[in-house]
Amino acid sequence: FVGNSTYLDDHGPPPQKVLPFPSQVVYNRVGKCGSRTVVLLLRILSEKHGFNLVTSDIHNKTRLTKNEQMELIKNISTAEQPYLFTRHVHFLNFSRFGGDQPVYINIIRDPVNRFLSNYFFRRFGDWRGEQNHMIRTPNMRQEERYLDINVCILENYPECSNPRLFYIIPYFCGQHPRCREPGEWALERAKLNVNENFLLVGILEELEDVLLLLERFLPHYFKDVLNIYKNPEHRKLGNLTVTVKKTVPSPEAIQILYQRMRYEYEFYYYVKEQFHLLKRKFGLKSHIRKPSPRPEFFIPSPLETEEPINDEEEDDEKWLEDIYKR
């Protein structure tokens, strides 16, 4: 039979796909802050809940030219919705180029811990394979690969001093050249973007609570995430991403790192405070850890989240709506 279909005449156009809100989420993941664990979870969740997980194979280009920003924003914005886009990239201002600003999420960790994890990961990889690091850093000289972390810090090697230590803040400050300069300007702009563009910035030391809040705020993407994370089979996969051959620097070296990363720590403590405010609002308590003999900055410090706040005047759903409207 050849002819024109009368289906549309009889039934009208097919109903439009009902999208969750928000339908555009960006996870501009910070390196060595648990993002490989979260991406493993997202792959499972995208199949389970039917959202479009858009990942990037580019891992070493976080700073973009204006044209590169425009091209990436165009590619992200035209992805099938609902989508969750993830890549190691400094904050992108979609509205600057006429696009709809998506909802951002991210996770950070104690800056010294992050630095140490990256230092040894670049040299020795993780439990997924002893040769991964050779593929990742094939041109690293042997003397550099086995450079003692204390020597690197105390003798002020470039890898262990600024501006390379100024790492977390640019992910939230953005693509402006000043975002890469350690200082108050980048710090304050990063804080502003956290307040205005990020639905949630969690801390890795309290990952289970981060997942609980993501499930609460973005159920279409993260429903059941904590159950999946706690599944023994998934834990086995997660353990393979642990960096190998890490050693603890001397207290003197750690104190020097701490001083060099003072802006990073000011930002970390600010994010941590905001995260704990959210936890209290939704009735989550932090678990107090027993004191440890290891250096203070190499482990999550004891948490001092206050008791949950009973705020009957402000509805939680209204609060979420206000966040989404930013």
**HSE, side-chain direction, 13 A CA sphere, residue 45:** 26
Question: Using CB atoms within 10 A of its CB, is residue 142 exposed (0-12), middle (13-18) or buried (19+)?
Answer: exposed
User: Would residue 8 count as lying in a domain?
Assistant: no
The two structure tokens encoding residue 70: 């425009």
Concerning whether 11 is annotated as a catalytic residue, the answer is no
The answer to whether the CB of 215 falls within 8 A of the CB of 228 is no
What separation in angstroms does the CA of 53 have from each of 41, 141, 171, 263?
A: 11, 37, 20, 33
Q: CATH number of the domain at 101, please.
A: 3.40.50.300
Look up the domain containing 79 and give its range. 24-283
The two structure tokens encoding residue 74: 């165009």
User: Would residue 4 count as lying in a domain?
Assistant: no
pLDDT averages per 10-residue partition of the chain, 326 residues: 55 69 95 93 97 92 96 95 97 94 97 94 67 62 90 96 96 97 98 97 97 96 96 70 75 96 98 96 69 42 36 48 54
Choice among 88, 176, 220, 234 that is catalytic: 88
What separation in angstroms does the CA of 135 have from each of 25, 125, 130, 143, 244?
A: 31, 9, 10, 17, 16
C-alpha span between 181 and 281 (Å, rounded): 35
The two structure tokens encoding residue 294: 């290891």
The answer to whether the CB of 169 falls within 8 A of the CB of 187 is yes
Q: What is the pLDDT of residue 12?
A: 61
User: Would residue 131 count as lying in a domain?
Assistant: yes
User: Would residue 313 count as lying in a domain?
Assistant: no
* DSSP code string of 100-156: PPPEEEEEE--HHHHHHHHHHHHHH-BTT-TTHHHHHSTT--HHHHT--HHHHHHTT
User: Would residue 325 count as lying in a domain?
Assistant: no
User: Would residue 2 count as lying in a domain?
Assistant: no
Q: What is the pLDDT of residue 20?
A: 86
Question: What's the pTM value of the predicted model, to 2 decimals?
Answer: 0.82
The two structure tokens encoding residue 266: 């000011």
Q: What is the pLDDT of residue 286?
A: 63
How many domains does the chain divide into?
Answer: 1
User: Would residue 64 count as lying in a domain?
Assistant: yes
Helix (H) or strand (E) holding 198: strand 198-203
User: Would residue 13 count as lying in a domain?
Assistant: no
Instruction: Name the nearest CA neighbour of 303 among 290, 321, 317.
Output: 290
